Every structure is written in structure tokens, then in C-alpha cells.
Amino acid sequence: MLRQRCNLMMTLAGLMLALASCTGHYRIDGVVETLGYEGRELSLIEFLPYRTTKYDSCVVNHGRFQMTGKADTTRLVFLCKDNRPIIPIYIEKGNAKVSLLPTEMTVSGTRQNDLFYSFLKKKIAYDNLYEDLSQRRFTMSRQGLDSRRMEIIQDSLRIVVDECEDMICSFMADNYDEPAAVGVFMMLSAGPTNEVSSLVRRILDAAPDEFMRQSYVKGYISRTGYARNE
């Protein structure tokens, strides 16, 4: 009987260790090279329509900060300074690295953060190209240059928009089942009105049912009255 009890205790202990090993943990290591952060508190905050939750916080010390904790589920939160959002970050199992630099702010090292910020890098490149072309068009307009050159710039702008939208839709098609896709959709669908843009409609028309059931997407559909094109 004593041996049976010992065997049972060992089995239970082994099961508890196995369950503990399945619990995910996150670790975030950050580097700050931007003024105004030293000695300030940074927090991980989730902003939901009816609830705001702070998951972690720390103080920047000598240009560095670190946060650790459990990551039983993947959550999209914001890294905040004094409770004001700086950049989005996914809390998920693994080690993430945050860089807050004068030239860029990025998160890398875990799957969803890598997906989201690789997309964001491409999107920013298109945005910068569009802005450069727009500025050139404005300058040419003020200089009174011929209409043919203006048409060429206008055609280039349309090409940039089309290529950017194709890139976005390609990313979504490849990653509808990833939490990063919901984060991208939140960024693209944010706005003061309930009007569904042609790009957002294109994304939703092609989305699988599982993506449509995500809480943010369901809320967006309910708020805007979107109906899938048959």
C-alpha cells in the first residue's frame, strides 16, 4: 500500500511538472535611445471597448527595460508611457525585443510581433513613396509644369496605391488565421466614421468564417453594417 501511494505521488508530481512546463511565459527586453524615457514608467495595456487592463509595467533604467510574465494566450496590447500608447506589441510565449529609436520603433523575436512589424515595414515604405510622389506633384503644380508630366505623377500615385493594397490583401490571405492579421485589420479599419473602405471590404469579402468571428471583427461588422458580397 505504501509503495502504491508513493507511486501515485510521484505520478501526480510528474503531471504537475508537465502542466507547469506547458504554461507559456513572455519576456520583453527593451532598448531606448529616445529622449524623455529615462526614469519613466512603461506599461503593457490592453484597450478594449469597455475595459482597459494593465498587464505589466517597469521603469526605464539606463536606456533599458524588461518585463516578464505568463502568456497563456496571445494578446495585442500597447506599450505605453504614462498610460499613453507608443507602439502595439503582442504578449505571447517567447522573448521579444523592443527598440525605441529616434528613427524607428519596432518589436521582434516572437511570431506575431515579427509578422506584424514585417508588414508594417512594407506598409511604411509604400506610405513614404506615396508621400514623396505627392510632394513632387504639389511642387510641379506650383511651378506650372506641363499637364503631361503631372499625369505621369498621377499615374505613379495610382500604381503605388494599387501595389500597396495588393500587398495588404496578400498578407491577409496568408495570415487570416494569425492574431497578427486582426491587429493589421484594426489598424486599417480605424477611423472616425462607420464607412467601410474599398480596401476593408476587399479584405472582409475574402476572409474565412473564423476570421469573421474574431471579437474585434464582429464588433466592426456590427457597427458598420457590413454585408459580405455574394
The pLDDT tens digits for 83-115 are 899 999 999 999 999 999 999 999 999 999 999
Distance CA 203, CA 159 (A): 19
Domain boundaries, the chain: 25-109, 114-224
Indicate the fold that domain 25-109 takes in CATH. Immunoglobulin-like (2.60.40)
Whole-model pTM: value is 0.83
pLDDT value, residue 164 = 98
Distance CA 112, CA 117 (A): 8
pLDDT value, residue 106 = 96
User: How far, in whole angstroms, is CA 188 from its chain's centroid?
Assistant: 11
User: How far, in whole angstroms, is CA 63 from its chain's centroid?
Assistant: 24
pLDDT value, residue 189 = 93
